[in-house]
Structure 1
Amino acid sequence: MPNPTRAFLLGPLLKGVSRSFYLTLRVLPAGMRDPIGLAYLLARAADTIADTSLISPQQRLALLLSLREQVNGAPRDSALFQRMAAEVAAQQEQSDEKLLLESLEPALDVLAQLSDSDRQAVRDIVTTLTEGMEFDLRTFPDEQSGEIAALNVYDELDRYTYLVAGCVGEFWTTMTYAHMPGTLKEQPATMQRRGVRFGKALQLTNVLRDCGKDLRIGRCYLPQSMLVELNLSAQDLLLPANSVRARPLMIELVRKTLAHFREALDYTLAIPAWSVRLRLACLWPILIGLDTLLLLVDNRAWLDPAQVSKVRRNDVYRIIASSLVLVPSNGLVRAAVEKRIRLIEARF
């Protein structure tokens, strides 16, 4: 008998809080949809808690750590969810975000219904993702303080991109081996490594795209060690006019991002051509990510939050439509990705 709560959480609610991810989820094979969709909902709820600036970072951290414990099987604390509804859900302007926070107890009930292996995989990915959110709350100042802090070295940024995205590539790979046995012909260790690089590519793209916005809430993910080489500080980056001075740093990070995207391409091509749905789910974010980087390297005011390098919705739909022709062919997929990489590198 169908479970209406499960159907609502992984249908209308998931669609409401992430239209783009919902498109990806719908093309996945059936067995992968529930654990991946549920992991997304739990991580999105945690992220909403971590980002609700109308409550103090200390309160957010306490709620985040408590939610992590609940996901990992701590005795159910209904008072905690009531507190989340009162302190966090009430602050949400988007009704879908509010409804998600009010649906956490039912989401944990669905988690309990998963197989042992899927439940543990969801717990592991949500734990790692919330460690990335915890890192933000402990590293950066209160958004309302007017202060700004930068990461120290590139290794911190690399670790951060693993915590908030690289780990998703691992999780995705684990789900593929579990629910589509025999699909991936490469060794699991190879695909896990590529999956991590895939996630890092997407997150580094986000870091560069959102740099101007993040700076204005006190977060500079561009490492201080790299800024110093250009005689810049995090505070200097608040001036959009310094986009030109900071461009060499941006280009260096774009180079690292492209190296990750090449691994993401290898990941995608390791999926057999007949597994069209799984290939599409990988190909779309690669193409959208590379188009974002192309906009970025052409943007002479990339530090200006009013001129963010974002792929337009109509262009996303164009990418999705064109990918249907590319996806069955290794040659066409490789050509489409490498063409974008060459266009980006030509701007250096």
Structure 2
Amino acid sequence: MMDAPVGPASPLSDSEVTTLLERTSRTFALAIPLLEQPLRREVGLAYLLLRVADTLEDAATWTREQRRTALTEMEVLIEGGAGPGASELAHRWLALCPSEDAGYLQLLEHTPQLLASLEALRPEAGAILRQFVLRTVRGMREVLARATEQGLLTLGSLEELRAYCYVVAGLVGELLTELFLLDERLTTSAPRLRALAPLFGEALQLVNVLKDATQDREQGRSLLPESVRLEDVHALAASDIVEAARYVRVLHSAGASRGVLAFTSLPLQLAHSSLELLSRKGPGAKVSRSEVASQMEALQEALQRGVLPDDVNRLAQDR
């Protein structure tokens, strides 16, 4: 285990960021290392900050108001930066045990270091992270306002599901896009990338909702509306995956770095494979490790030749 922060918070080292990613993530722990620096660190910190927010929002043993209060406290921290209050709040959250996941608890413990790391980023990237993390935290608090007093969240329509996906994933797509657009080569493609960014995030989130439906119900969330046919959610996810592939193709055409193309292609490929598997086997089905390894190898081989993987190209040309 990493040592807990002692004294004034200092930025996390790159190896500490990697360790926290490995303990709190699945797909992104594989995808983020594909990026070049400084994007690798910036995207890694963005993920970890959003995972802190997710942990507070999903705290199964907390009431609705406890979760909303913690998100308000996180908002104040993001606005104010690292300071003695960050350590105090982190210890208060931990004392209430918001999760049984050791990795998530360790991440909360390092909240002061995360904030110090945020302050140490290049200014333009730090401003992007603050903007979108704050929007996500505020959106999560609004979503929780519709939960029961015990914190049970039920979505009642496809529109509510899409609104939820925008808060927890569409905004992430927009955050990533603004970081990518710090590369001046992509400037002329900015309007198209910004238009597709929320759908890129929605595609990945819808697949996660379908995959985690059973676990979500056990934890007090009913994100798949009972009034909506499962086939319609699958169809929306499939449509979004096509738009996500077009997003990657725009990046490729605009001259995005190999790291950015690898980072965006891998989650897309895994989401597509997962959706096909879920269609056949139902909630809980997961892509095997051997299939993940095979897709990563094919991805790197294609990018080495200067092209996108065949399955990404096929998806981008659908319809």
For residue 142 of structure 1, report the CA deviation from its aligned partner.
Answer: 6.2
Structure 1 residues 283, 75: CA separation in 2 closer, same or farther (over 3 Å shift)?
closer
CA RMSD across the alignment: 2.9
TM-score normalised by length of structure 2:
0.84
Q: Distance in 1 between matches of 2:33 and 2:288?
A: 21
For the pair shown, the structure with the greater C-alpha radius of gyration is 1
Instruction: Provide Cα deviations, 1:118-176, integer angstroms capped at 9, x if missing partner.
Output: 222111221232234324533333679xxx76423322222111111111111111111
Give the equivalent residue in structure 2 for 1:111: 118
| From 182, 199, 202, the counterpart of 1:200 | 202
CA distance in 2, matches of 1:274, 1:75: 33
Q: Residues 33-55 of structure 1: CA distance to partner in whole angstroms, max 9, x if unpaired?
A: 22211111111112122222223
Q: Pick from 317, 327, 336 the counterpart of residue 293 of structure 2.
A: 317
Aligned pair partner of 2:91 in 79, 82, 99: 82
Letter in 2 for 1:96: G
Residues 321 and 142 (structure 1 numbering): CA distance in 2 closer, same or farther, change over 3 Å?
farther
String of CA shifts for 1:277-329, please: whole Å, max 9, x gaps.
21111111111101111111112xx36xxxx1211222211211122223356
1:22 equivalent to 2:24? Answer: no
Tell me the residue number matched to 2:232. 252
Please state if 1:287 is matched with 2:269: yes
Q: Return the offset for 1:214.
A: 2.2
Compute the displacement of 1:197 (Å): 0.9
Contact 2:170 2:197 in 1 (8 A): yes
CA–CA distance in 2 between the matches of 1:332 and 1:105? 39
Equivalent residues in 2 for 1:30-41, closer than 5 Å: 30-41=37-48
Query: 1:158 aligns to what?
Result: 162
Aligned-partner Cα distance in 1 for 2:29–2:39: 13
Number of equivalent positions:
306
**1:217 offset after TM fit, Å?**
3.5
Q: Which residue of 2 aligns with 1:269?
A: 249
Percent of matched pairs sharing the same residue: 26
For the 8 Å contact 2:143–2:164, the answer to whether it is kept is no
CA gap 1:84/1:320 in 2 versus in 1, 3 angstroms: same
The gaps in structure 1 that reach 5 residues or longer are 228-248
* Superposed counterparts of 1:127-166, under 5 Å: 127-141=134-148, 150-166=154-170
TM-score, normalising length: structure 1: 0.78
Choose between structure 1 and 2 for higher RCO, CA contacts under 8 A separated by at least 6 residues: 2
1:56 and 2:63 correspond: yes
Q: Return the match for 1:326 from 299, 302, 310.
A: 302
Alpha-carbon distance in structure 2 between the residues aligned to 1:116 and 1:211? 39
